[in-house]
Amino acid sequence: MRQVFVATNLVEAHLVKDHLVSFGIKAVIHGEILVGAVGELPADTYPTVWVVDNDDAERARSLVHGIVAEPSATQLFPDPWICAECGESNDAPFTECWRCGYHRVK
């Protein structure tokens, strides 16, 4: 078993694990029950994602890098925007207009 990712929280750990599983890589999370003690225990108590098969480690790291390195919609579009199709005002994180479905492009 090899560690492929150190998460900052349980949600992030589960998202990464589920992403790997969707590509057929068996993965587990270690340290889930220690999350409540972060701040009281040493700094290495964050949840970690491990692959079961050592041969999957490099592929898993590549897949993890692909999702972690991608900027979020909020980073790409930090400000509210007006839909070019229907003129509706949309909040920053939305990449599609809530009224007409127009896809925002950068």
Residues 75 and 64 in one domain: no
Provide the pLDDT for residue 81: 87
Provide the pLDDT for residue 7: 87
42 exposed, middle or buried (CB, 10 Å; 0-12, 13-18, 19+)?
exposed
From the CB of residue 82, how many other CB atoms can be counted at a distance below 10 Å?
A: 11
Q: Which domain holds residue 78?
A: 71-106
Residues 55 and 79 in one domain: no
Q: What is the pLDDT of residues 29-68, one digit of tens each?
A: 998 876 665 556 565 678 899 999 999 999 999 999 888 7
Residues 86 and 44 in one domain: no
Residues 59 and 12 in one domain: yes
Within the chain, strands assigned E span: 2-6, 27-30, 48-51, 81-82, 89-90
Residues 63 and 82 in one domain: no
Residues 8 and 60 in one domain: yes
Q: Enumerate residues 6+ apart whose C-beta is below 8 A from 76.
A: 106
pLDDT at 77 over 60: no
